Amino acid sequence: MTTYQYIEVENTKVFYREAGELGKPTILLLHGFPSASHMFRNLIPILEKEYHIIAPDYPGFGNTISPDRNEFSYTFDNITRILELFIEKLKINKYVLYVFDYGAPIGFRLAKNHPERVNAIISQNGNIYREGLGEKWAAREEYWANPTPVKRESYRKAFAAETIRHQYIDGTEEGKVSPDGYMLDIAYVSRVGNDEIQLDLIFDYQNNIRLYPDFQQYLREHQPSLLAVWGKNDVSFIPEGAKAFKRDLPEAEIHLLNSGHFALETHVEEIGELILCFLKQLNL
């Protein structure tokens, strides 16, 4: 049974979902943009019988009570720092890392900083390779190289209601995606002040790409067991990003599903079964 809790971390009140028994191997579920831990609402019941599940909302997302932008710099480094403190407060010494979208640069920072804590990695459309960047990223790189207030304002379209809806439904069969997920995400990003937080993070994303070589070096040095399970029709993080894991982890397990970016919305049972089989093979 899932419980819904808060814990104080510095000046942030972090919301998280917890399920499964303490003492069983922990899976840390890291959500993406523009979502929150609710994206795992259907995956948690599949995993909780065998594993202890922790799924936090980041500062600036979901139900986490976050500081004002004048008091907290919304960067991926800072979000990672809060999550490191969150993990330490919960006394989680080892975990399987599940990363999706924004969860990838956050999760791989965690892994790079504390490789001894990571039992295995599951990447669901969680990219750390240039090969995995879709066409839209060329425009973002031009913005990062030549930032202007006008260009910053133009990225409000990234969290417009219709953009969010299409993040969910593009690349999926018609009628297979419930509106519940994207309607909740639309409500989250529509809150007063959240727009500027999301614009800050869009600008800071350039630092994630600069860290790709470091993340890849971590893989080569530590050789964690890795399962990549991707919606192959994702236009943000294309399948080449999943395939690229093989370059650094020859034993990586790769599965491409007929879905889009939010593959859990259409293929949660299949993804859940792949995770259970993958971890069972590792005796976790």
Which active-site residues does the annotation give? 261
Question: 231 pairs with which residues across the strands?
Answer: 257
**What is the secondary structure of 128-183 as a DSSP string?**
-SGGGB-THHHHHHHHHHS--HHHHHHGGGGGSHHHHHHHHHTTS-TT-S-HHHHH
CA distance 284 to 271: 17
* H-helix segments, 174-263: 179-189, 194-210, 212-222, 240-243, 245-248
CB 281 within 8 A of CB 227: no
* 3-state percent helix, strand, coil for the chain, nearest multiple of 5: 45, 20, 35
Return the sign of the alpha-carbon dihedral for residues 116, 121, 127, 128: positive
135: number of Cβ within 10 Å: 9
